[in-house]
Structure 1
Amino acid sequence: MKIVSASKVTKAIHVIKDQTCEKCGTQAKGFVYRKALPIYYCRKCLRDEIDARGQLVA
């Protein structure tokens, strides 16, 4: 598991209000880091992503 710097996480949190869900297009509420890039999801899709991959998310 790759460690992501705190500044990148902070930036991703600040811009979340302007992002949409990668799967369904609704407003994003959380994100998962993949290959050092945040992938934004709504609550429903984020829950599905956690169940499917078994990863910790921010």
Structure 2
Amino acid sequence: MAVQTQDEALKTLFSDRRLTLSTLLDIDDKNRQRVPLMPNPIQEDVIVNSGLRDIYVKP
């Protein structure tokens, strides 16, 4: 098993937006339990297709 240094682990974590959000962002579900973010299809599309300077207006 390969062992990563802390710097390598952070590079791996921040190189993938989906991994970053699901690892670092916890939300409260309907039962008020902390769960990792599981994006819905629209959120998934934003994660995959957005750039660093995109602005999304909430309707």
**TM-score (norm. length: structure 1):** 0.26
Task: Give the number of the structure with larger relative contact order, counting CA–CA contacts within 8 Å between residues 6 or more apart.
Answer: 1
Q: If each structure's helix is expressed as a fraction of its own residues, which one has the higher value?
A: 2
Q: If each structure's strand is expressed as a fraction of its own residues, which one has the higher value?
A: 1
